[in-house]
Chain A
Amino acid sequence: MLRPQEFCLPGDGDEVVALLARYGDSALILAGGTFVHGLEARGLLSEIEALIDLQKLGLGTVETGAEGLRAGATATAAALEQTPAVRTDPRLGALGDALVYLPVQIRNAATVGGCIAAACPFFDLPVAFIALDGAVDARGPGGTRTIALEEFFTGMFESSLLPGEFLVELRLPQTPARSASAFIKLETNANDLAIVNAAVRVTLDDGGACTDARVVLGGVGSTPVRSPAAERVLQGATFDQDVLREAGEAVAGDIEPLSDHRASGAYRKAVAQVLVHRALERARTRLI
C-alpha cells in the first residue's frame, strides 16, 4: 500500500495548483482512487508523498444539452450512467455500452478524470470518449487549456499533461443527428481490464451513405489507437454486411498489438477485427 505523508483536501482549483507546485512529482491527484493500486503495482508511485483529493472542488456533475455532454473530472461512472441521454441517445451508445462492464463498486467510485489521467491503455471509457471526439480541459499554473483526447495519450501510463496540471472537465461535442456509436470489450472476467476493446461512431447522410466514421481500439498498443484504414472503408459507403466486415478486417493493418500474460499480440489482432465488426453492427442497429 502507498505510504504518503500527506492527504490534502483542497477546496478549490487555486489550492490544487499551489499544492502541485509545492509537491511537484511527489504529488498524486486522487479522484475515485480505484486504480491507485494498479499504478502502484506497476512501480509508478514509489515517489508519492502527497495525495490530493479533488472531492471538494465541485467537479462531480454531468450535463447534456445542444452542445453535447460535459462531465466534471470527478463525475463518477455512475453519474454518467444515470444521465438520461447516455441511456437513450444512440449517438452516446458507446458510452452506455462501456459503462455496463464496470462492477457497481467501480461505477460508484471511478471518475471521468481519473480514467483519463491514468492513461491506462486497457481502460474502456477513454476509448469510447475518443470515438466521440472528446476533449479535456486541464488546469495548471498558466491557466486552463483544452487537449483533444486523441492527442492526450502519449504512451503507457503517460499523457500530455504537464507538471502542475490536472484535469477539470471532459467535453463530448454533439454529433450530427443521424449518428450512432457502440462499444464492445473482451475481458477474462466481470472485473477485468480489457484484453481488447473497440468503440465506433458513424454518421450517415439522408441516402444512408456514411459521411463520417471513427474506429478506436484499446488494449492493442501503449495508447488507445484510431484505425484510419477502417474509417476509410466506411467513409462514403452504404452499410451492408460486407462493408462492416471489411472495415473490421482493415484494422489489422493499423495495429501492432503487444503480447503479455493475458493474450498474445496475434490473438489481440484477430479479436480486434471481430470486435470492430460487431461494434459497427451494433451501431447500425441504433440507426434504424
Chain B
Amino acid sequence: MKRLATIHVNGELHEVALEPGETLLQVLRGQLGLVGPKRGCDTGGCGACTVHVDGKAVYSCLTYALSVQGRAVTTVEGLAQNGTLDSLQEAFVTAGAVQCGYCTPGMIMSAKQLIDEEPDPDEERIRHAIAGNLCRCTGYTKIVEAITLAAASR
C-alpha cells in the first residue's frame, strides 16, 4: 500500500505517495520529473543513477525512497545555482567530456563529492573516485581532464 512521505530534493520539499519497495531513482524520475539520474543497470553496477544523500554519493537505484525521509537529496539538476552551471558542469563542457551523455550526471555527482572533500586530487584519486561509474563510450580521459579542471578552478 502506498504511504505519503515528504522528501527533500534539490532544496525543495516534495510530498509523494510511495510504495514500500520503491527506489529513490524511480521516484526522482517517475514522480518528480528529475531525469538527470539514469536507469542503467538498476543493480548498483554502472553509476548512472548516482545522486547525493546528505552530500554523499549513492546509487539511487539501490536506495529505498522511504529511507531518505529527513535527509537532503541532490541530483545533477540541483547543482546549477540561479542559472549558472556548477564548476564541474562547466568543466565537462569545456573539456568535451561528454559523448553519448548517459553516464555524465552520475560521473558529475561522484566527482562532486571528491572535489568537495579534497581540494587538489591527483589523477589516481580522480580515477578512484569514479571507479563506481561506467562510461560505455570509454571516454574516461576527457572525464578525468574535466574533473582535474574543475578541481583547479575552485
A residues near B, CB below 8 A?
A: 1-7, 9, 30, 33-34, 36-38, 41, 50-51, 53, 55, 78, 100, 103-106, 108-109, 190-191
Contact B64 A53 (CB under 8 A): yes
Which residues of B are found within 8 Å of A30, using beta-carbon distances? Answer: 64, 67
Known: A5-B1, A103-B132, A104-B132. A51 touches B44 (CB 8 A): no
A41–B134 alpha-carbon span in the complex (Å):
21
Specify the chain B residue showing the minimal Cβ separation from A36: B62
- Other 15 A-B pairs with CB < 8 A, given A7-B3, A104-B110: A5-B20, A6-B20, A7-B21, A7-B64, A33-B63, A33-B64, A37-B43, A37-B44, A51-B21, A53-B64, A53-B67, A104-B113, A105-B132, A190-B132, A191-B44
Neighbouring B residues of A6 by C-beta, 8 Å: 20
Q: In which size bucket is the chain B interface?
A: 20 to 34
The verdict on B50 contacting chain A, using a C-beta distance below 8 Å, is: yes
Task: Indicate if the CB atoms of A104 and B57 lie closer than 8 Å.
Answer: yes
B23 at the interface (CB under 8 A from A): yes
Please report the C-alpha to C-alpha distance between residue A38 and residue B50 in the assembled complex, in whole angstroms: 18
Q: List 16 A-B contacts (CB under 8 A).
A: A1-B23, A4-B21, A9-B66, A9-B69, A33-B64, A34-B59, A51-B64, A53-B66, A100-B128, A105-B50, A105-B57, A105-B110, A108-B53, A108-B58, A191-B44, A191-B132
Smallest CB separation, B136 vs chain A (Å)? 13
CB of B93, distance to nearest CB on chain A (Å): 23
Chain A residues, CB < 8 A from B47: 103, 105, 191
B68-85 vs A, Cβ < 8 Å mask (1 yes, 0 no): 010000000000000000
Nearest Cβ in chain B — how far from A230, in angstroms? 30
CB of B45 within 8 Å of the partner chain: yes
* Dominant secondary structure of chain A at its interface with chain B: mixed
Q: Which residues of A contact B69 (CB under 8 A)?
A: 9
Shortest CB-to-CB span from A234 to chain B, Å, is 32
In whole angstroms, what is the CA distance A196 to B66 when docked? Answer: 35
Contact surface of B with A, Cβ cutoff 8 Å: 1, 3, 19-21, 23, 42-45, 47, 50, 53, 56-59, 62-64, 66-67, 69, 110, 113-114, 128-129, 131-134
A197 to chain B, nearest CB (A): 17
Q: List the A side residues contacting B58 at CB < 8 Å.
A: 105, 108-109
Min CB distance A16 to B, Å, is: 15
Query: For residue B132, which residue of chain A has the nearest CB?
Result: A103
User: How far is B44's CA from A213's CA once the two chains are assembled, in angstroms?
Assistant: 36
Residues in A neighbouring B63, C-beta threshold 8 A:
33, 109
CB distance from B18 to the nearest CB of A (A): 8
CB distance from A232 to the nearest CB of B (A): 37
Query: 3 closest Cβ contacts across the A-B interface?
Result: A103-B132, A7-B20, A190-B131
Expressed in whole angstroms, the minimum distance between the Cβ of B124 and any Cβ of chain A is: 11
Once bound together, how far apart are the Cα atoms of A196 and B100, in whole Å? 35
In the bound assembly, the distance between CA atoms of A105 and B107 in angstroms comes to: 11
Residue of A nearest to B51 (CB): A105
Q: Which residues of B contact A7 (CB under 8 A)?
A: 3, 20-21, 64, 66-67
Q: How far is the CA of A105 from the CA of B21 in the complex (A)?
A: 20
Which partner residue on chain A sits nearest B1 by CB separation? A5
For A191, the chain B residues whose CB sits under 8 A away are 44-45, 47, 131-132, 134
Q: For B21, what are the chain A residues with a Cβ–Cβ distance below 8 Å? A: 1-4, 7, 51
On whether the beta carbons of A109 and B64 are closer than 8 Å, the reply is no
Q: How far is the CA of A199 from the CA of B132 in the complex (A)?
A: 23
